[in-house]
Chains A and B, each alone.
Chain A
């Protein structure tokens, strides 16, 4: 079985899960306050940020702080629990497929869920920006190239975090602990982005990068910027470590 068909099978498994509806509700809820408080975007002269940039960045900051990481924790539960219920995983493990290959296929599914979530947020942003432009007689729509750059950055920065959550859910068999630790690790990211060691904490990457983008867009704000070193090597190290650990642990418990 080639790798692509393995990934496609994994997608089939979660097809009836209605996860996209949950993502959709979350995305709609994310943009409602931005639409209802759109007039506040015109009062940001002190920060030196234009209303359209503020509208965009505030929405994405709200998402990257809590909603996006928490959705990913829920996503790990979805991917692991659908297999563990009724011992589906045992049947998968009897097939002549490498455990690591299976684990990586599931991880790709999780990454795709993350990408879909971000893409949905971007689509919802364009819809709400168009709506606000019509109601406020002011153009809130940003060029697609800029938005695409930001969402790609957000996605790339979230890969180490998703890898960490995935490693948690694979290594810790009790779903409660993996979810609990995952959720608990999101909460302190607000603290950690203000410290110098933020780059060692993958859960703070998306929020840190969006906050630093905010600093770039707002002329009068000085937010700390990501230095490529030590950020990129640490992020790659954490990702590789988490994926390696999850590949090693995958199916270990069922084999006993």
Chain B
């Protein structure tokens, strides 16, 4: 019993850790897509940021410099996407895919040129990563029944980016629903003409949304390489950007439901890690590959069957042209 309780706590903590990049990327995507920009380039931005974070941290020895660099690179990629989709009214999917492919190739090439480690960027120093933070009183309270271990094992002991991700959801919800920016954001994704005739620039609104997207995606990428992991490896984002996009659709572009979708995917991932090499009753040992596919299978099943009709922002993916 004691053992099962510990297992549950560990599983929950690991779910939070795995959900962090998804949450950040999904909130990033939420800003873009609510403004009417399809962002299939979440994956590429995250991967680019992961590389930038590792490279900058390895060169300067500072995780914080790594984080800022990551946000900078992801921001630049978001602006590139905006330049293609907003300024030049290009196809959003094509631009996103282009960013994904470019980054996937460029990262390892630059890593190889700069660090000569077969396309990897290793992180060695303590200060180059975000370490776990022990929240106040975690040790003292650990003995309090039930709540104590939850606080000590699940709430406390993550690195700062996990807490940032947790904060990003209520913050996003507040911005989207309670502020002027949020009202305009939601409007520009639904009916850009209404925004234009209300005297607000559609272009500026969409660029602003993409700026936030870039910054949030940057944090997500930095988390992969200098917080959760140590160092950059080829394709290390492993489809998390797409999972975030799926969570965004599953959560119908609303911050709180999207959060739960991220947690669900992360939970599947956490289970997957636990199940590897474990003998299951009746089934026996399931091949690792099959277990690893679990979160992705779940995504397909959920999106195909259980979501119902996801109603996207009406103007999503359409370049805004004044009708003539």
**A and B physically associate:** no
